[in-house]
Structure 1
Amino acid sequence: MKFKTKEDIEAPIDYMFAVVSDFDSFQRQALRRGAEVSRLDDLDVPGVGMAWDIAFPFRGKRRQMLVDLVDFDSPNKMLFDSRMQGMAGHMLVDLMALSRTRTRMTLEIDLRPETLSARLLVQSIKLARGSMDKRFKLRVAEFGKGVEDRYSRVG
Structure 2
Amino acid sequence: MKFVAKDDIEAPIDFVFAEVSDFEGLQRAAIRRGAKVTRTDARDTPGPGMSWDAAFDLRGRRREAKITLVDYDPPNGLRGEAESDGLQSECWVELIALSPQRTRMKLHVELKPQTLSARLLVQSLKLAKGSLTKRLNLRVADYAAGIAQRARRQA
TM-score exceeds 0.5: yes
Q: Within 2, Cα distance between the matches of 1:57 and 1:104?
A: 30
2:96 is aligned to 96
* Gap runs ≥5 in structure 1: none
1:10 has 2:10 as partner: yes
1:40 is aligned to 40
> 3-state DSSP class of the match of 1:94?
strand
Alignment of 1:3-152 (within 5 A): 3-152=3-152
Which deviations, in whole Å up to 9, do the C-alpha atoms of 1:17-55 show, x marking residues without a partner?
A: 000000000100110111000001011221111001000
Deviation beyond 6 Å, 4+ runs, structure 1? none
* Gap runs ≥5 in structure 2: none
How far is 1:60 from its partner? 1.5
How far is 1:77 from its partner? 1.2
Q: Within 2, Cα distance between the matches of 1:36 and 1:115?
A: 24
Q: Within 2, Cα distance between the matches of 1:41 and 1:47?
A: 11
- When normalised by structure 1's length, the TM-score is 0.98
Letter of the 2:13 partner, please give it.
I
> 3-state DSSP class of the match of 1:29?
helix
How far is 1:5 from its partner? 1.2
- When normalised by structure 2's length, the TM-score is 0.98
Aligned length: 155
Letter of the 2:45 partner, please give it.
V
Q: Within 2, Cα distance between the matches of 1:79 and 1:60?
A: 27
**CA RMSD of superposed structures (Å):** 0.7
